[in-house]
Structure 1
Amino acid sequence: MNPEDFSGTTDPFVVEGWIRSLEVIFRYIDMTDADRVSCIIYQLKGDASLWWEGAERGVNLATLTWEEFKRVFYNTYFTSDVRSRLKREFMTLCQGDSSVAEFVQKFDRGCHFVPFLIANDVAEKLLHFFDGLRPTIGRDMMLTDPTDYTTAVAKVFRAEQSLKDIDWEMQHKKNRAEQASRYNKKPYTGSPKRPG
């Protein structure tokens, strides 16, 4: 396994993704807390390495746990105000002109930052998901009454495709009607009427 280095960034999704990717490796090879901290310190490069040189003065390396390291790390790279902003954005998330795929991606990312919503109540999570959808899609989903998020997502993709198919059919009929009306018009061959 070859985890990526971290040079520092202000993108919270990159920061959180990097930590999560390392945690997957740590669980897979069953690393101790001390080994996790040593490994991650080795992965810090550039600005992040400079940050750690200052941050390590405020911690006891002999007793530093993985959770304590993450707290120190997040205080710089994924601050509480950024997490609060992401929670607020999630709580007001709406599909708007986005595709279902884009909306689902934003929703899934947001769920990670609002764990109380996903951990405690499946019905609440589904309701929040439906409320954020475009009304035409959300209405269809509420009628199908899915009981889990995975099923709801699959149905939302199908509903979006159905709406696209309807739009295509309507446009196709409109184009055929316009073509038919052009071909059915007879040119005027008579003389113009004179005012009498």
Structure 2
Amino acid sequence: MAEGWIRSLELHFQYLKMRDGDWVRCDTYMLRDDAFLWWEGAAHGVDLDTLTWSQFKEIFCKKYFPAVVKVRLMWEFTSLRQGDSTVAEFFRKFDRGCHFVTLISRDVAQKLSQFMDGLRPTLCRNVIQKSLTSYDEATACDF
């Protein structure tokens, strides 16, 4: 939920062509309930005049997206299998998982390999027969 909130704010801020410092001020203004109380305490440890969006996200993620959650998401991604899912559903889950495992998502060959590991064997053979070399090619492929 926290990750989705950050992403939606970033889309709004980009659309509005806001400057980095304005992102932080706008974001902290929009905090509610427990997040607002957390920020009141966390803000004492930073210089609000120079705090960048990246720095804010790092502080925010330490609180709402701790390392144990990242490890769990990485494990879920590396063990992701298509099973009874449609190819479209598997693509969606795979793309979401790539967001959390950047080492795989940035390596074209590794990304395709991880994707193929999760596909049903019959579909994996289709990818091999078509000599696809990247995940992007696989997403454009008609299964």
TM-score w.r.t. the length of structure 2 is 0.89
Specify every segment of 5 or more residues in structure 1 that has no aligned partner in the other structure, as ranges.
1-13, 160-196
RMSD: 1.7
Distance 1:102 1:15 in 2: 23
- Per the alignment, residue 80 of structure 1 pairs with 67
Identity %: 54
The answer to whether the 8 Å contact 2:111/2:134 transfers is no
- Does residue 125 (structure 1) correspond to residue 118 (structure 2)? The answer is no
Q: Which has the higher contact order (CA 8 A, sep 6+)?
A: 2
Q: Deviations over 1:73-120 (max 9, x none)?
A: 11111112111211121112111222222211110011111112222x
Distance 1:20 1:85 in 2: 20
- Per the alignment, residue 10 of structure 2 pairs with 23
- Does residue 58 (structure 1) correspond to residue 26 (structure 2)? The answer is no
Deviation at 1:29, TM superposition (A): 3.2
- Does residue 100 (structure 1) correspond to residue 87 (structure 2)? The answer is yes
Letter in 1 for 2:48: L
Deviation at 1:138, TM superposition (A): 1.0
Please say which structure displays the higher CA radius of gyration: 1
Secondary structure of the equivalent of 1:60?
A: coil
- Does residue 46 (structure 1) correspond to residue 33 (structure 2)? The answer is yes
Deviation at 1:37, TM superposition (A): 0.8
Deviation at 1:153, TM superposition (A): 2.1
Runs of at least 4 residues of structure 1 off by over 3 A?
none
Distance 1:123 1:67 in 2: 29
Q: Deviations over 1:10-69 (max 9, x none)?
A: xxxx22222122222323333223211100011111221122122212222122221111
Letter in 2 for 1:140: N
Moved more, 69-78 or 14-23: 14-23
Letter in 1 for 2:121: P
TM-score w.r.t. the length of structure 1 is 0.67
Deviation at 1:150, TM superposition (A): 3.1
Distance 1:142 1:128 in 2: 13
- Does residue 71 (structure 1) correspond to residue 58 (structure 2)? The answer is yes
Distance 2:29 2:112 in 1: 41
Secondary structure of the equivalent of 2:110?
A: helix
Aligned length: 143
Distance 2:28 2:17 in 1: 18
